[in-house]
A and B are shown apart, each in its own frame.
Chain A
Amino acid sequence: MSRGAFSHFELLVLTAVVRLGDGAYGVNIAGEIEEHSGRAVVVGSVYGALERLEGKGFVTSRLADPTPERGGRAKKYFRVTAAGLRHVREAQRVLTALWRRVPQFKGGLA
C-alpha cells in the first residue's frame, strides 16, 4: 500500500475532520461518524486513525488548555492539511465515478 493510501475508517475520520473544521477532536469526530454510519465508534480507534493520518501528513494537531470537565487534561484538536483535503477530494471523485457506472445505483437507488 502506498504512503498516500488509507483505509475506509481513515477516510471516514478524515472526512469528519474536514466537516468539523477547527473544532475537530476525538469525541466529536467519533460522534460525527456514529451519527452518519449508525454504528458505535470507539474513541481509541479514532485516535489510532488520527495518528496514522498525522504520520501521512493529512492532518495536524494542536493542544488546547486543560479544562476541569476533562479532569485537567488538555484537548487535542485536529485540522486537515492541504494534502489531506486533496486526498479526500480524490477519494470522492473516484468513488462517485465508480458509482455512476454501477447500474444498480442509477437513479439514486441503493
Chain B
Amino acid sequence: MRSSPPPALAVWLLERFSGNNALVGDLVEAFGAQRSTLWFWKQTMVALLVIHAGALLALTGLVALFAIGRRIAIPGVNADALAALASGTGGTFRVYDVLSGGSLARGSVLALAIHPYTTAATAVELGAWLRRRASGRITGSKWIVRGTRMLAIIVAGTQALGLTLFLERQSQVPGGLALVGHSGWTFRIPAILALTCSTLFLMMISDRLSKAGTANGLLLVFAAGAFVGLFPARSIGVVPQLAMNLAIVWITSQAYRRDLCAFAR
C-alpha cells in the first residue's frame, strides 16, 4: 500500500461530476495498490467523458441546430436590413442576441430561443413557492410541469407578437432598406407561428433530454444558444439557405409527428 494520496483535483472532479461514489472509492483503492498518478488522471478523464458522453453529444447537436437555425429568417423579414439595424445597437439587445444564439439580430425563427420556457419555469416555481408560504399547500410536480408548458406557450406567443410589432415599426434602417416587406396580419400570423413553433421545438428537445436523464435539458439548450451567439453568422447563398430550410422543415415535421401529442399531455 502506498502512503501518498491520489491527486486531489482529480478526486474533486470525480466527486463533483461523476455522481458515482463507488467509482471514486474504487479508483482511490486501486491507486493505493500501486497505481500511478498518470493512471489515476487517465481513469478520471475517461470516466467523466464516458459518463457525460450523452450530454456532450447533445450539446454538439444543439450547437449545430442553433448555427443552422439562426440562418432561417422569420417569414417576411429582410434579415440583411435587420442586421444593419442591429449593428448600430448594443446593451440589452446585444446580450439578448447572444443568448438567442445570434438569432435576434438576424431575424431568425429562433429569435425567442428557449427564453419563454425559462421565464415560465421561473414564474411557476415562484408561484408554487408563494402558495406554499401563504397557505402551506404544496403544488404537485405534474401541475408545475403542465403550468410551465402552458405559460411558456402563452409567453412565446406574446413575445412573438411583440417582436413582429417591433419589427414592423422600425423605419430608421441604415441604407433605407425595408425591414418588413408587407406589414399587417399577413406578415404577423406566419411570423408568430414560426417563432412560437421554433420555441416549442426547443422546449421539446429540452424536455426529452431531461426525461432521458442525459442532462438538464433547459440548461443545455440555453448554453448551446449562448455559445453560438458568441460567433457572428456569415451570409450564405440562396441554394444552401433553401436546402437548410427544407431540412429543418422535414426534421421538425418528423419530430412533431412523433412527439407533439406526448408533449402536449
Within 8 A of A (CB), among B147-184: none
Q: How many whole Å from B175's CB to the nearest CB in chain A?
A: 56
Is residue A25 within 8 Å, beta carbon to beta carbon, of the partner chain?
Answer: yes
Residue of B nearest to A72 (CB): B25
B51 and chain A: residue at smallest CB distance: A44
Provided the pairs A27-B30, A69-B32 are in contact, do residues A44 and B50 lie with their beta carbons within 8 angstroms?
Answer: yes
- Chain A residue nearest to B1 (CB atoms) is A69
- Report A-chain residues with C-beta under 8 Å of the C-beta of B48: 44
Q: Are B26 and A26 interface neighbours, CB within 8 A?
A: yes
How many residue pairs between the two chains, A and B, have CB atoms under 8 Å in the bound complex? 67
Which residues of chain B are near A74, meaning CB under 8 Å? 21-22, 25
Q: Which of A42, A43, A75 has the most CB of B within 10 A?
A: A43
Q: Which of B20, B28, B51 has its CB near the most chain A CB atoms (within 10 A)?
A: B20
**Is B259 among interface residues, defined by CB-CB distance under 8 A?**
no
Task: For the complex, give the distance between the alpha carbons of A45 and B42 in Å.
Answer: 12
List the A side residues contacting B46 at CB < 8 Å. Answer: 42, 44-45
Q: Is the CB of A43 within 8 A of B28?
A: no
- Chain B residues 7 to 24 lying within 8 A of chain A, measured CB to CB, are 11, 18, 20-24
Q: Does B47 contact A (CB under 8 A)?
A: yes
Q: Smallest CB-CB separation from A63: which chain B residue?
A: B22
Q: Which of B1, B23, B29, B32 contacts A47 (CB 8 A)?
A: B23
Which residues of B are found within 8 Å of A27, using beta-carbon distances?
26-27, 29-30
A35-73 interface mask toward B, CB cutoff 8 Å, 1 = contact, 0 = none?
000000011110110000000000000010011011101
- Whether B43 sits at the interface, judged by CB under 8 Å, is yes
Residue A76 lies at the interface, judged by CB distance under 8 Å to chain B: yes
Docked Cα-Cα span, A63 to B49, in Å, equals 25
Residue of A nearest to B21 (CB): A73
Q: How far is the CB of B48 from chain A (nearest CB, A)?
A: 7
Q: Which of B29, B49, B50 contacts A69 (CB 8 A)?
A: B29
Q: Do the beta carbons of A73 and B25 come within 8 Å of each other?
A: yes
**A interface vs B, CB < 8 Å?**
25-27, 42-45, 47-48, 63, 66-67, 69-71, 73-76
